[in-house]
Amino acid sequence: MVNIYIRMKFFIILFLICSAISVSAQDDVKFFSDKKEGGSILYAANAAYCPVSLILELKMTNMSFSNKDQKIFVIPALTDKYKIGELDILKPTQKSNFSMSSSIVYGDVNLQRYDTSYAYDLPFQKGKEYLLSQGYNGVFSHQNENALDFTMDVGTPLVAAREGVVVSVVQNNNKACPKPECKKYSNYITIYHADGTFADYIHLKYNGAKVKIGDKVKAGEVIAFSGNTGWSSGPHLHFACSVPTIKNRIAIKTKFKTGNGSVVEYLKEKEKYFRGY
């Protein structure tokens, strides 16, 4: 599974008046403030096509925070100005400061339920059959991971297993090796689903993406071409669905429609699966 996880720390000194802040954790998420009498109002902007969860820790001197008991803030997708809270200086004649340590995770970490009954499409085209070389908790690289590996030639068209919106695309890598240190060279696409889950399509061909960030895709739509990039011992597609948590995203098991589509099942390692729908 691809980790979509960012850490950010900054320290700001405030005297009698809070100055404007603009700190970027990454291109999608920015923090800023508006002045107010005796303090400042903190905001976040989220340019991502999925919600992001901000896990916040504040340390203050001579200041109070309006949401002091709240640690997690879920910022909706494509939000320009989300209020995090207000900072007030307690004694205006004394120096005031605060430090803010935060983590940002893609998705809503408060997600309690998702659609466990959803039947995913096989991630390849109609009329094709591929071997599931490694299944959930596989012995090679899937220990304690709910991920699937389909053996297929480089350049095989891949389709979306479920409709959603593209939130991440990496396709500029062309290196692979059978060791964990090559994981950083993976090309991948991440799609966000309506129930708050994500799907990762990994080891894609160099420049093999057919979609871009923000595209809405339908199940069965060609999104990329398979490859052999990253932590890989041979050409294949690594597919995993996941739910967000405070520290990362955790992969989950999903059922698939197989054969002509009438059978819905968990896929088994070393079995071949045909898509007739």
The one-letter amino acid code at 233 reads: S
Q: Are 268 and 216 in contact (CB under 8 A)?
A: no
Domain chopping of the chain, boundaries = 5-106, 119-274
Distance separating alpha carbons of residues 254 and 200, to the nearest angstrom: 13
Q: Which residues pair with 227 in a beta bridge?
A: 236
- Identify the band that residue 276 occupies on the pLDDT scale cut at 50, 70 and 90: very high
Q: What is the pLDDT of residue 24?
A: 30
pLDDT digits (tens, 9 = 90+) for 101-155: 888 989 999 999 999 999 999 999 999 999 999 998 766 655 577 999 999 999 9
* pTM for this model (two decimals): 0.87
CA atoms within 13 A on the CB side of 246: 6
Residue-level pLDDT at 180: 87
The amino acid present at 139, given as its one-letter code, is V
Q: What is the pLDDT of residue 139?
A: 65
Q: Which CATH number fits domain 119-274: 2.70.70.10, 2.40.50.140, 3.20.20.105, 3.30.420.40?
A: 2.70.70.10
Residue 141 is predicted with a pLDDT of: 57
CATH class of 5-106: mainly beta
Is the predicted pLDDT of residue 13 greater than 60, yes or no?
no
